[in-house]
Structure 1
């Protein structure tokens, strides 16, 4: 590659890297013209699907979104400066029922096609180079060309700009995880740390043996599927109840004892089509509120500075829908309620009094604390009473989420998406434990209802046992076992020789297993208290510890402070990720156009031989115009 030929290196060619590439192609004619450009894509996994959506995944694993709710293409609801380039949703592309939940291999095939489309949209003056390996480090001065060091390559890639689209990453264990791992190693037990369940070696969990599972979200759902249907079990229709299933075991399943902080699974996906009047959003957490927060002269704390307005926004959506669609369940005129609601302080006694007056049934109240802690104060007399209580909870959640009489739940879902779109402008926010993202996922990113019906059948069959809320896991050195108890059943302990952390690794810079991200942090990039990589919310440039954005380094995705809600964008919802990709692509193209990079005249200092092996392998090069 000539040193004079402009180049951009994109680390990560999965969905986010593909989205950036699509926006690069869309904006290139306006901002860059017919100048030559090299685009290097660095990813050890297939371009398009990336690691998570590989087409060799088990078809038993589903997407957590309906086929009609997944698109890789912009539409006229997306507020971007670049051109809109429409394209089919997953349902339209695959010709499948839009209400279905496709398998992950189906999504991987769609992503592979979308990636090929983005490549094909690039002009012949752009050459794409594929490097199926791992990026180890980025070096180079702020005002000069960057060098991206690759595993298996002695010579680094030279780049005018680097875009990190790393996606979801593994993590190195912190002190909390090293302790149970060490205990398991000393006693010959099984310990599976937070990781992507589909990549875990589940063969170490023997049939018939109890397994403690810490975590009740989507990682648990994958674990449940792979250890039951994945081992030959099957479901049959209940002979007496059309809404129930019966699980027929294969005999190869372990017994999963599951608990968590909340003690309940994520809420089911909503199973009805919204109709009628929907809340006008944003209302109490929109551009003006974000502008005021950005003008604050102190670091922002999410629970103190942001959450009150967010809670009022979610409540507004809930009550707007209740008054519009179910007025018979309200006791005051709608306009009176809305006027007083707007004037009331969020999360205060005036608002509580108004709701109590205007909405007689407490079941119709929006109570975020009760939502976040559904088992708070609930104690069960026995383990069997706990099983019965949790089965009732899951069954009630299924009924509610599939009954349009509870359509305010859909309105809150819409408000959650609206809030996430606004939060991306704020960038770095103090949120210890990443509470907001967890709360959002619990309410908005739950499993399909059919998964929870299977969970109930597994509970009936004794394959899944509920542990409850406020889960505590201890190690017993004398007996060489893990022990679990919960606040829902105090004094009762469950023992097992296996413990699974059923959650994704935290997207932290400091504990990331990714060498590039760790090196970036060591070289001066800023991380938040929650461990996220700090980026400029305007265009995704990586921020240093001095607060300055790096002029040649960008980052997008879940490891950054500009996270987008949900894994994929729903059509006609404004597309937060699309806006981020467009801003980054336009900034990158303008810089590439304007930069005058001197020729490289001397070898660069880089990683040691142990981190950058001397063996070389040639990249795969393709002309953009040759990609179908």
Structure 2
């Protein structure tokens, strides 16, 4: 048996481990080829990247080892989580032996990191390299492993096998597992226009890409840079342009965070359509195996909804919103309303057919009513952006078991597997899936629960106060001024206040769009019919392209032994970018073991 794993990031490495442990037991011979042009860690988790870039998960919430919580058929092979590993002498020795360029930073991080801290991406990349070396050192005699640093350009079905084509050679294999990440697309008409404008006027225009690859070496101190987007890539860019250029923060006697410029910072102008950064993640108070329990998307609810298309989009959104509001009012009562019988209140909240009226009839003050328009940034009830940010990080600091808002946002994390089940069972009709899930829910979920650590929100507040960052009001506009030869930006709500710059960054990852991808591999697979775009059939013979791809046994040239999971399948699946979490029956471990089991049974 020969198996090819394409992609050496977390999912590829977990698949490698699952195959190794299964074949350790059955003692059949297997040859495994792991391929990634960037080597172990893949493109995102390389060790030698800006050390100020951090993960978006607590260090103790990340592991590549299975544990007894995982409901799978394969053997459980425990090992240290990222945090547990970071506290071992072996971690220190591993870093010292490999002499990374950022060795000093990594060793300092090992010395101070705490369970609920956010590790640097460099440290997670180091852990992945150690994990791979750990697997290699413990390979059973019947498993042969080869790592190839190259790009795969095509996979072709050949009788009962597959032909894997690399840059300058090819080989045959019995099974292929593709664990790919975000891949660039051909430019949109606007991006193409901006690129041509930048080239003509000798400007810098950065299209959507991975933030650790931003090269700001040609951006001068005090030079104006426009950043479009206020999500995670925005925070990465700002961190690289401030702390990455020698600036630092201190805390005053009144606990206010203050930024001290190095003098090398540019002038950062940023904005987005919404005009508000993603909400910050709250200080973690939960154990790795601890989640808030659902009260609406329950097992009983799923038992009543088994047929595809049996759930309306409106009711799905209402259920998700109810889960979030339930946690908010639970924490709010605990914190502020001791006179309210919490158990009775929440029981009535679940039963109520008109929750707005129920809340208004309660002892909750109107200023404490949950307001979806406010939390989603649809209204400008706050006096200023800074006040909005202060409220966000203040609540986040209360923790995800105490802060009313941050606990509510965290509930979206805790019900991810339930939402994935809704998607897997296709409980929404194609029309509602497109309108309510792909458009509304995904946007709300990203804004509320996929934001940066609360420390980044507080840092942004300090940077705004220091005059380093200016955030535009909502409805950001961008133009290419042909007369001045500069990019110009402003808010549609404040047209007179405009900023021009010779540097523009699209601060977002490439969209998942199979039909526009620049990937030779995905284009080749689409052309050969091994995979196809995942589309929705809407009324009026309209086909909606989700951007994702799907393998289908009915598709010509497809067959057993081909597995495609992760980012490019987003659309058919949901939220495929997370690293596996220990002690939580994590889906990454489950999926990887199921893939390994199917390969074992070929």
TM-score bracket, shorter-length normalisation: 0.7 to 0.9
Is the aligned partner of 1:454 residue 2:471? no
Aligned to 1:233: 247
How far apart in 2 are the matches of 1:418 and 1:449? 18
SS of 2:118's equivalent?
A: coil
Residues 421 and 564 in structure 1, CA contact (< 8 A), matched pair in contact too: no
Which range moved further: 20-29 or 266-275?
Answer: 266-275
1:197 to 206, 211, 219: 211
Which range moved further: 426-435 or 364-373?
Answer: 426-435
Aligned to 1:261: 273
Is the aligned partner of 1:466 residue 2:486? no
Unpaired runs of 5+ residues, structure 1, are 1-5, 345-349, 380-387, 536-541, 592-628
Residue by residue over 1:321-357, the C-alpha shift from the partner in whole angstroms, topping out at 9 and shown as x without a partner, is 445x34726756633542452453xxxxx12222332
How far apart in 1 are the matches of 2:174 and 2:286? 47
Q: What does 1:163-182 align with in structure 2 at a 5 Å threshold?
A: 163-182=177-196
SS of 2:489's equivalent?
A: strand
How far apart in 2 are the matches of 1:289 and 1:120? 47
Q: What does 1:307-326 align with in structure 2 at a 5 Å threshold?
A: 307-323=317-333, 325-326=334-335
Aligned to 2:20: 25
2:532 to 526, 531, 545: 526
Aligned to 2:561: 552
Is the aligned partner of 1:421 residue 2:417? yes
How far apart in 2 are the matches of 1:227 and 1:74? 38
Shift of 1:94: 0.6
SS of 1:140's equivalent?
A: strand
Shift of 1:545: 7.8
Q: What does 1:565-580 align with in structure 2 at a 5 Å threshold?
A: 567-580=578-591
Residue by residue over 1:548-574, the C-alpha shift from the partner in whole angstroms, topping out at 9 and shown as x without a partner, is 974222112122133446632333233
Residues 473 and 482 in structure 1, CA contact (< 8 A), matched pair in contact too: yes
Shift of 1:42: 1.0
Which range moved further: 545-554 or 565-574?
Answer: 545-554
SS of 1:441's equivalent?
A: helix
Residues 337 and 354 in structure 1, CA contact (< 8 A), matched pair in contact too: no
Residues 155 and 521 in structure 2, CA contact (< 8 A), matched pair in contact too: yes
2:74 to 73, 79, 82: 82
Residues 212 and 500 in structure 1, CA contact (< 8 A), matched pair in contact too: yes
1:335 to 309, 327, 344: 344
Unpaired runs of 5+ residues, structure 2, are 88-112, 535-543
Aligned to 1:390: 385
TM-score after normalising by structure 2: 0.83
Shift of 1:68: 1.5
Task: Specify whether residues 296 and 372 from structure 1 end up closer, same or farther in structure 2 by C-alpha distance, changes over 3 A only.
Answer: same
How far apart in 2 are the matches of 1:581 and 1:359? 49
Shift of 1:472: 1.7
How far apart in 2 are the matches of 1:585 and 1:221? 37
Residue by residue over 1:16-54, the C-alpha shift from the partner in whole angstroms, topping out at 9 and shown as x without a partner, is 100111222233356xx222111111111122x222111
2:261 to 238, 248, 258: 248
2:124 to 107, 111, 114: 107
Task: Specify whether residues 552 and 406 from structure 1 end up closer, same or farther in structure 2 by C-alpha distance, changes over 3 A only.
Answer: same
Is the aligned partner of 1:353 residue 2:346? no
SS of 2:601's equivalent?
A: helix
Which range moved further: 203-212 or 106-115?
Answer: 203-212
How far apart in 1 are the matches of 2:558 and 2:330? 41
CA RMSD in angstroms comes to 3.0
Task: Specify whether residues 368 and 84 from structure 1 end up closer, same or farther in structure 2 by C-alpha distance, changes over 3 A only.
Answer: farther
Ranked by relative contact order (alpha carbons within 8 Å, sequence separation 6 or more), the top structure is 1
Residues 157 and 557 in structure 2, CA contact (< 8 A), matched pair in contact too: no
Shift of 1:89: 1.5
Residue by residue over 1:396-429, the C-alpha shift from the partner in whole angstroms, topping out at 9 and shown as x without a partner, is 2111111259533354344322332123332477
Residues 274 and 407 in structure 1, CA contact (< 8 A), matched pair in contact too: no
Task: Specify whether residues 378 and 491 from structure 1 end up closer, same or farther in structure 2 by C-alpha distance, changes over 3 A only.
Answer: farther
Aligned to 2:103: none
Aligned to 2:197: 183
Task: Specify whether residues 392 and 70 from structure 1 end up closer, same or farther in structure 2 by C-alpha distance, changes over 3 A only.
Answer: same
Task: Specify whether residues 337 and 183 from structure 1 end up closer, same or farther in structure 2 by C-alpha distance, changes over 3 A only.
Answer: same
1:129 to 137, 141, 146: 146
Which range moved further: 254-263 or 441-450?
Answer: 441-450
Task: Specify whether residues 291 and 115 from structure 1 end up closer, same or farther in structure 2 by C-alpha distance, changes over 3 A only.
Answer: farther
Task: Specify whether residues 216 and 97 from structure 1 end up closer, same or farther in structure 2 by C-alpha distance, changes over 3 A only.
Answer: same
Residues 246 and 262 in structure 2, CA contact (< 8 A), matched pair in contact too: yes
Residues 281 and 406 in structure 2, CA contact (< 8 A), matched pair in contact too: no
What count of residue pairs does the alignment treat as equivalent? 553
Residue by residue over 1:33-83, the C-alpha shift from the partner in whole angstroms, topping out at 9 and shown as x without a partner, is 222111111111122x22211111122222222222221122233222323
Aligned to 1:539: none
